[in-house]
Amino acid sequence: SGMSFKATTYDIIDGMEKEFGDWLSNGFDDKVEFYLNEDDNWKDVKIDGLKITKPKDWDSKEIKKLGKVITGKTPPTTVKEFWGGDFPWYTTPNFQNGKLLESHRKLTIKGKKKTPLIPVNSTLITCIGEIGQTVLTEHLCGINQQINAVSAYDTTNYLFLYYLLSNSTSTIKHFSEKVVVPMLKKSAFEKIKLIVPKSKLEQTLISTHLTMYDDLIDDLDTKINIEEKKLKYLTNELLSGRLRVR
């Protein structure tokens, strides 16, 4: 279908309705129809004491209804035969800007049996300390007890679930225990309610377009990294006199 942008009084971002409207209407993607949710299709609801405005045709669901919640576990570090293998095991320092850095601590076959196995395409989320950091798994792995994993059920698009949890940090932090080191127990985490489209197709369409922009950013980051290396090289060479200009 062609592009369709319906003007409403609902602001996407204050003061930027026109810019976003033009962007959506002019070549963002001619294979999908975008439109702003109409004013009369919103509903104010209270979820766990929080006032939330949601589309009338969306649901509020507990995280445990969207996917299986798994808390990690650390195999005994004193047992040498559990460590030094090739099975990846992650902790919070492996989280960096939405990416999962390579694990330098790996488990043996015996060690692998001492920790829950986290399926591919699961969302990992930190629940102790800096709560709410998220990454998506690309392979079977293990995690420590500071991390919860959510493995999407068949009724939930796993990429949509990743973006939903990534965008719900403030809500998730709201339910954490306010102690010296903030923490969020699995029993509390899995009961947090988030708003979601009833249709898995709509979830998939949303995640497809968000992924497209994520991929664009990754490509730009790679190009920027290359240009930064060029700049560093030129700076060193030009300012040392080894490379001359005329």
pLDDT at 14 over 60: no
Closest CA to 171 of 41, 7, 52: 52
Amino acid code (one letter) for 206: I
Tell me which DSSP letter residue 221 carries: H
Q: What distance in Å separates the CA atoms of residue 118 and residue 33, rounded to the nearest whole number? A: 36
pLDDT 10s digits, 86-117: 999 999 999 988 889 999 899 999 999 999 99
For the chain, give the mean pLDDT.
86
Radius of gyration of the chain (CA): 22
Record the tokens describing residue 76, joined without a space: 């005994």
Compute CA distances 36 → 33, 125, 183, whole Å: 10, 30, 37
- Mean pLDDT to the nearest integer, 155-168: 95
pLDDT 10s digits, 170-208: 989 988 888 888 999 999 999 999 999 999 999 999 999
pTM (whole model) above 0.75? yes
Proportion of the chain above pLDDT 70, given as a percent: 86
Half-sphere exposure of 65 (CA within 13 A, CB side): 11
